[in-house]
Structure 1
């Protein structure tokens, strides 16, 4: 009992002297003669005594629950499973994380479990102190980012100076990406999943050693990435690599939830960074409306859709009606599928063979349908301007959900 009391007092002494989580973890490890980790609620490593790169600070831990043994789980070191004792680090306010003790043995009433619970108080106090410091800094940081991303700052020198305070070099050209959970629901576990998504992106960025702006904002994760001396194709390749790594980690940590990503254009002047952010949001929204199966949309690649998106809705609806309403009405009255035929024909670049295969039709049947479309709409389907009008009308159909 005296030994445990001394151990707890030593932890509190380290806390008072400013030792931090690393010293706490090292002292717990030395006392127990076991490796220990302290992780946050999203299983991101805060500190570890394990001398393995997979468990360094910032790594996302791969864990598997083991039942029926309570307070136990397994972590994976490569392909090897290691059992750990789990001690929840929480108080009346919130869950702060977990203390993990590696290979604790089988005795549920062992000293290891008692020591872990004794250490919990010191760990929670330190985590709470760190969070208070972070929250204080976050308020100033978020105010700056709000002004930056909503175009409220017009002095480049001021932006660059304030960015340096947070470790960001805003003299470099920046590109903004927005990450969103598909079908996000605010009052659900999605809020926790969004936080995990932010930490996944952070893990990927840190591995690339890039000094990026990254933060969680309402229903999205925002990333501003410096891309000095990169042309469009090089920058696009970098983002695709980041997104692929993000998706690989998401399969493990986000319960197979789909993530949609929108990427804006690159801007060299920091006062224009807000444009890239707005473009990224539009790209994400348009990707969803246009049923982009890749779930990744680059604003620059959206073509005419990005012009139509911000166009007057009433005018777009009028154009759609003038172009396709007669065909819609004909289909309804005759129970035909000419609209689908025309849409597939346009989507397949007006290629008869590809369209027929896509619709499982004989080429002659397709030719008959196209001729009927010409008669109903009183147009020449080979006319370039007519084809362009159809392309625009079908874009409007999805953008406006007509």
Structure 2
């Protein structure tokens, strides 16, 4: 083809590209016009770059079967097209030897798909690859192949294709902008229509699934599956959490807006997209899209889904607001129980929450205390909001009623149990709930909690007493040497007697009772105090004491004799033994 004809062909091609604003139409026209512009070419493929997944994907082709080609994803630098993308310079592969060398780093999976798309594997006899440049960034690569051994591309072909690529880039960008707006508007309208009709999160999820023709699920920030577009989508969503916990953690902590992963699940390839759902600056969940065969979303759909994620955020906030509203009402009722007299009004309020005073229940109060003295009021408020969400998540799992009162830097809960629950079962249930809450509080928003559980009571009038017990437990955790952050009132034992005693008095008692032994140990680097403690806890059995301390019985006998001499007593018995053990308890559990 002479130069004049080539230019005429190029002008006609540019006219065709600018005749429409629909992206798919533009790309299909572009790939066909390439074969008209570049004489002797047999096939062409357009790779576009997806920033979100950092891959080049085959978007349109002529001479290839897109049924197979659409599954090809190239890393930047992989193959002839990937190398052209990185270098941002057009290049000619003159011979089959050149194309073979240019494709040597392509994976076996991609080569297999490439062969199937041709109807039989073969390397091109010659090829040209040119980058599509926009504002000094490469947005894709246009590759043209010759499979006729008699023909070969030359520098004129390269220059012509580069000129064509400049015009093609303009057409692609214009069509992309138009199609993005059109696709986003359409998706937003469809999902908003469902939301406004009170369809709820489930119906919105199903609507999105229908629009993009893929399985969809919504997680909260704890990876609980809230809703899914189908039972199959729900199974996939649950399996991803179970089999890919590290992936889920990476997703929730990642700063990128969207993450794509290709995974193996149920012996099949899956392409998985995670879109974060935000409320203010906090991630409150993930919108997950699952594609079979490791496929990818059309970037236009991906952009539209990103914009539409706000609808999911609004719906999730609506659900949460309803739950928090219920919590606040239950908190109002609990406040009445704890700080006012139980009257007909509060009984009516309880009845609204399905608690009938004529029925028999067991009640227990639990206090959560935010042990963060250095936080500002704003920080405390933000973290308490997150804590309330975590508490709400846990109590929704429980098969019995729970009341929650938000008060300053503490959150008080009253749990209502049926009579057939034993004290041990109630303790286990509550310990399990708060272990999860404390774990999330520490891990997700770096908040330290002290938890106090009151005694179990059988009437609403006694709930105040249970709450006072819970307060004592928290006070004890604040002032003791215990490493534990959860304490039930029944675990306090004799220590509950020390809670209201002046520390100076306790300190004096320990010094008067154990002071000489402590001083002797410090001077001589001995273990008399520990020996005394183990001996008294072993019912004054020397053999058991020796066994626990991994020493000979004669050693224990000698140490006890030394203790008697220091304390100027004849034997460790009666009132003397009681006072010594009491002093040991005070020293161990109450800082003095």
TM-score range, shorter chain: 0.7 to 0.9
CA distance in 2, matches of 1:81, 1:288: 53
285 and 314 in structure 1: CA distance in 2 versus 1, 3 angstrom threshold? same
The equivalent of 2:209 in structure 1 is 29
Alignment of 1:1-400 (within 5 A): 1=179, 2=182, 4-51=184-231, 52=234, 63-65=248-250, 71-72=259-260, 84-90=272-278, 94-103=282-291, 105-107=294-296, 110-130=299-319, 139-148=328-337, 151-168=338-355, 172-178=361-367, 186=375, 205-214=395-404, 222-230=412-420, 234-241=422-429, 243-244=431-432, 247=435, 255=443, 261-283=451-473, 286=476, 296-400=486-590
For structure 2, the residue ranges without an aligned partner over 5 or more in a row are: 1-178
CA distance in 1, matches of 2:576, 2:218: 64
- 1:203-247 per-residue CA deviation (whole Å, 9 max, x = no partner) reads 66544522223566666664422233247xx22224315534765
The equivalent of 2:104 in structure 1 is none
CA RMSD between the two structures: 4.5
CA distance in 1, matches of 2:202, 2:577: 66
Of the structure 1 ranges 258-267 and 245-254, higher mean CA displacement relative to structure 2 is found in 245-254
SS in structure 2 of the partner of residue 84 of structure 1: strand
Larger radius of gyration: 2
Asked whether the equivalents of residues 368 and 410 of structure 2 are also in contact (C-alpha less than 8 Å), the reply is: yes
Of the structure 1 ranges 328-337 and 125-134, higher mean CA displacement relative to structure 2 is found in 125-134
The equivalent of 2:88 in structure 1 is none
For structure 1, the residue ranges without an aligned partner over 5 or more in a row are: none
CA distance in 2, matches of 1:30, 1:190: 42
303 and 136 in structure 1: CA distance in 2 versus 1, 3 angstrom threshold? closer
Q: TM-score, normalised by structure 1?
A: 0.77
- CA-CA distance at 1:368 after TM superposition: 0.9
SS in structure 2 of the partner of residue 357 of structure 1: helix
- CA-CA distance at 1:190 after TM superposition: 10
- CA-CA distance at 1:38 after TM superposition: 2.5
Asked whether the equivalents of residues 156 and 271 of structure 1 are also in contact (C-alpha less than 8 Å), the reply is: no
Q: TM-score, normalised by structure 2?
A: 0.55
Size of the aligned set, in residue pairs, is 396
- CA-CA distance at 1:367 after TM superposition: 1.0
- CA-CA distance at 1:298 after TM superposition: 2.9
CA distance in 1, matches of 2:526, 2:472: 35
Asked whether the equivalents of residues 159 and 270 of structure 1 are also in contact (C-alpha less than 8 Å), the reply is: no
201 and 93 in structure 1: CA distance in 2 versus 1, 3 angstrom threshold? closer
CA distance in 1, matches of 2:331, 2:430: 24
CA distance in 2, matches of 1:74, 1:252: 28
- 1:43-95 per-residue CA deviation (whole Å, 9 max, x = no partner) reads 44443334258979xx9996343799951469999999976312122365654
Asked whether the equivalents of residues 197 and 221 of structure 1 are also in contact (C-alpha less than 8 Å), the reply is: no
SS in structure 2 of the partner of residue 102 of structure 1: strand
Of the structure 1 ranges 192-201 and 280-289, higher mean CA displacement relative to structure 2 is found in 192-201
Asked whether the equivalents of residues 72 and 86 of structure 1 are also in contact (C-alpha less than 8 Å), the reply is: yes
CA distance in 2, matches of 1:166, 1:75: 46
Of the structure 1 ranges 309-318 and 249-258, higher mean CA displacement relative to structure 2 is found in 249-258
- CA-CA distance at 1:265 after TM superposition: 0.9
SS in structure 2 of the partner of residue 103 of structure 1: strand
Asked whether the equivalents of residues 217 and 225 of structure 2 are also in contact (C-alpha less than 8 Å), the reply is: yes
Asked whether the equivalents of residues 205 and 212 of structure 1 are also in contact (C-alpha less than 8 Å), the reply is: yes
281 and 47 in structure 1: CA distance in 2 versus 1, 3 angstrom threshold? farther
